[in-house]
Structure 1
Amino acid sequence: MEPAFPGGAPAPGRVPRARPVTGRWAGLAALLAGFFVILLDTTIVAVASPRIQQDLRAGVAGVFWVTAGYLLAFSVPLLVAGRLGDRYDPKRVFLAGMAGFAVASALCGVAPSIGWLVLLRVVQGLAAAAMAPQPLTLIRRLFDAGERGRALGLWGTVASAGALLGPLLGGVLTAALDWRWVFLVNVPLCGAALLLGLRWIPGSPGHAAGLDLPGALLSTAGLGLLVWALLAWRDLPAAGIAAAGGPAAVLLAAFVARERRLGPVALTPPAVLRSPGFRAASVAVAALGTVVIASALPAMLYLQEVRGLGPLEAALVMAPDAVIAALLSPAGGRWVDRAGPRRPAIVGLALLTASMLLIGLVVVLDVHPWWSACGAAVLGAANAVAWSPLSVAAMAAVDPSAAGAASGMFSTIRQVAAVTGVAVTGAVFTVRPAAPAAPFAVVFALMALIAAAGVAAAVRLPRTR
């Protein structure tokens, strides 16, 4: 049941006042800016990699870890970061992460060697992990239940726009200025978001939430080994993969066993895991995150390497994704506010499945590559509709004192699923078939199956408003 006052009850003797409309949306703008730079930096560096390799005289492995190091540091601490928000106030943790991200970005922009750049990217990833779980908790605090769907719809649009615009913006900055600007561009964005956040994001004294240090160590070590193996498997022999995967499984099993014994103070409180809405939304968002992130690079590679389009042409073919998502997102959010999360989630995941089938048909039928824009438009509609209801459903039954833990868990599931999807698509491309388009057909068929699994999970969401 929703609290009468977003974020918890007011202090005794105080009369709660409605937060000004301008303040709510200014606070949301700060959260969206932070979330945008986190996702932008997941993909923006790829286009600049050749210039980085040339200027810093780096090897292929060094350039690979410029991106992989960021993903590793971002994915692994999310569970702990969510719980830190419960304990110390998500506003403080978010703004501290934002400040750290800005400083790390500035230092990345002046890095003198590939070693320093990889190290600073890891610091940047840790700052991103501190920020990422907090917006879901803070949106719940900023908006009441009647407006939350619209706010989370914009959050979902930013999620897709960050992944899509990264390669395009990276190419423009690298060509017009220098590769260092793919990092320096974050500094003014973070500065503006910090000013907005300090003024308009509501704070709280935090909760008396415990921090399970042994559990934090187990989850961090287990997830670290798992994500490292997923990112680096191409350079590892089978024995190396087993050496990482085996201990990861043992550590994560020990973490799960410990969490079941601890109860409310656990990093993943059992009450959250017992919620049918949270479980179904988590499976669905794993499918959504996997498909949206793991299909982006194959789509661009197919259009450029197989069909011969230039980088700008390929970006324009896929641009309807961001455009349609931006146009439909407010309506999608209002739909969630009126109808509840279940029906919009089902429609959004169904559209996601259709988008992968449409792009896959372009590959299989070998029609004009600009037909892929139809699939991109449907993908944009899916992004506009799917993200908001899944976030609403996941957080709806969570007690405010455990909102950070739930958000951290939700973010971890989404991020690890996306990294797994990238690793699986990479494995498909290691096979050298006679037809150059064959791996792309396999990838989009696989993405359609994963999206269909997301539809099945969305059907299991509770029938609530």
Structure 2
Amino acid sequence: MVGGAGVGLRGSGELVTNRWAGLAALLAGFFVILLDTTIVAVASPRIQEDLQAGVAGLFWVTAGYLLAFSVPLLVAGRLGDRYDPKRVFLAGMTGFAVASALCGLAPSVGWLVLFRVVQGLAAAAMAPQPLTLIRRLFGADERGRALGLWGTVASAGALLGPLLGGLLTAALDWRWVFLVNVPLCCAALLMGLRWIPGSRGQNTSLDLPGALLSTAGLGVLVWALLAWRDVPASVIAAAGVLAAVLLAGFVVRERRIGPAALAPPAVFRSVGFRAASVAVASLGTVVIAMALPTMLYLQDVRGLGPLEAALVMTPDAVIAALASPAAGRWVDRAGPRRPAIVGMALLSVSLLLIGLVVVLGVSPWWTVPGAAVLGIANAVAWSPLSVAAMASVDAAAAGAASGMFSTIRQVAAVTGVAVTGAILAGWRASPTVSFSVVFALMTLIAMAGVAAAIRLPRTSAG
């Protein structure tokens, strides 16, 4: 049975339209926030030239967004529980549209970094809410299909960023990399106001000390992961110790206050949530962290142009979009465990295929089969992990669980980006060795995701 305002009987044709229109609004908002994690990279040279930006300023145009996006996710998930996920999602989307317009009008790189931070904060408010709202919109027999589309959008947003960014920069101007978000957000806002079901929220207090500890701890950790190349090793080590102390204090705090916690300990006692979290950390790491090394290898080592390199990886997004409805139906019929195992196994296979191109030095167009398998893996893997995680928690803790799940995925992705960057920087003299090590490491991480998927529950009732 589906709950929530504006949701009627399952047999109603109008309800089906409402549910899927509400999902479309959620996916449109989720697409733009993930698109903005990678869309700026292609436009960076034009931004640097137009705004007279230094390398450090240019780096923080992207890093500032990632930092502001990753850190407040735990708090944002709990805000959804307290104030209603629909309200938090739409407020975040409004802020994202305004910040995107300001980014497009930025007069200097300093202002652009500031507006990107605001954009990241708005994205953090939005990101945890779709999982909670999909649970509200769809019953267990349809949730797999809905979350399959959510997962496809999650991967497609990051993967299509370089292609769309290149097209907009070449045809118009770098500012349109940001301005394109405004009409997308406005359309999604109108749909969301009409079709996303609302609620009164819960009469619970927000754990302010826990929010401060988690935000500070995650902030220091993510900053260290992003800034390690430009900061002395002693500073990074001190930041790591400080982050560990703050996060340890957060864990102690959460154990003491019980259900009102930002990260309720009861959620982690669920085997399904723990296994899904480990697997989604593996999936998020691989999908986000491999994007830059793949593009660098195809362009800097093999000599493809930006558009050619994007076309080589296009089968990923296309196949994922085409296969996700069938993959979602499979999850609805079979439960999350088997599809998750297959999806994570195919992820490992795709990395092996792409890695062989690097090791053997064959034509870069042989990357296409690996990209195709990656598309199938993306279609199959995201849905069961999300279904298992959200079905393993009570409805009252759905927002907190969604915030935790999103935080784990995002911090794992940032960690993966930092690690792959360190490998590529460390072995710059031997590109074949460095890229081979990157793909070997990503394959091992994907295989760890297979092991975690084996521990998922067989059914998705909940």
Q: State the TM bucket, normalised to the shorter chain.
A: over 0.9
Correspondence 1:17-416 to 2 at 5 A: 17-18=9-10, 20-416=15-411
Mapped partners of 2:39, 2:97: distance in 1: 16
**Would you say 1:440 and 2:435 are equivalent positions?**
yes
| Letter of the structure 1 residue corresponding to residue 39 of structure 2 | I
SS of alignment partner, residue 237 of structure 2? helix
Mapped partners of 1:191, 1:264: distance in 2: 36
* TM-score where L is the length of structure 2: 0.97
Shift of the alpha carbon at 1:6?
A: 2.9
Identity, % of aligned positions = 83
| Letter of the structure 2 residue corresponding to residue 363 of structure 1 | V
Mapped partners of 1:326, 1:16: distance in 2: 29
What residue number does 2:3 align with? 6
What root-mean-square deviation, in Å, do the aligned CA atoms of Structure 1 and Structure 2 show? 1.3
Show CA shifts across 1:202-250 (max 9, x none).
0000112221000000000000000000000000111110121111000
Q: Is the Cα contact below 8 Å between 2:312 and 2:368 reproduced in 1?
A: yes
Show CA shifts across 1:421-448 (max 9, x none).
0000000011235532211100000000
| Letter of the structure 1 residue corresponding to residue 238 of structure 2 | A
| Letter of the structure 2 residue corresponding to residue 296 of structure 1 | A
Mapped partners of 2:436, 2:36: distance in 1: 28
Q: Is the Cα contact below 8 Å between 1:209 and 1:401 reproduced in 2?
A: no
SS of alignment partner, residue 431 of structure 2? coil
Show CA shifts across 1:320-358 (max 9, x none).
101110111000000000000000000000000000011
Mapped partners of 2:29, 2:330: distance in 1: 25
Q: Is the Cα contact below 8 Å between 2:346 and 2:373 reproduced in 1?
A: yes
List 4+ stretches of structure 1 deviating above 4 A: none
| Letter of the structure 2 residue corresponding to residue 60 of structure 1 | V
Q: Is the Cα contact below 8 Å between 1:94 and 1:130 reproduced in 2?
A: yes
Mapped partners of 2:2, 2:59: distance in 1: 47
| Letter of the structure 1 residue corresponding to residue 183 of structure 2 | P
Mapped partners of 2:7, 2:240: distance in 1: 54
Show CA shifts across 1:60-110 (max 9, x none).
000100000000000000000000000000000000000000000001110
**Residues 312 and 6 (structure 1 numbering): CA distance in 2 closer, same or farther, change over 3 Å?**
same
Mapped partners of 2:431, 2:264: distance in 1: 48
User: How many residues are paired up?
Assistant: 457
Shift of the alpha carbon at 1:16?
A: 5.5
Mapped partners of 2:33, 2:255: distance in 1: 32
**Residues 103 and 134 (structure 1 numbering): CA distance in 2 closer, same or farther, change over 3 Å?**
same
Mapped partners of 1:238, 1:249: distance in 2: 17
Mapped partners of 2:345, 2:204: distance in 1: 39
Match for residue 449 of structure 2 among 426, 431, 454: 454
Mapped partners of 1:25, 1:60: distance in 2: 44
Q: Is the Cα contact below 8 Å between 2:2 and 2:137 reproduced in 1?
A: no
What residue number does 2:421 align with? 426
**Residues 16 and 185 (structure 1 numbering): CA distance in 2 closer, same or farther, change over 3 Å?**
closer
Consecutive unaligned residues in structure 1, runs of 5 or more: none
Q: Is the Cα contact below 8 Å between 1:353 and 1:451 reproduced in 2?
A: yes
| Letter of the structure 1 residue corresponding to residue 3 of structure 2 | P
Mapped partners of 1:85, 1:360: distance in 2: 41
| Letter of the structure 2 residue corresponding to residue 98 of structure 1 | M
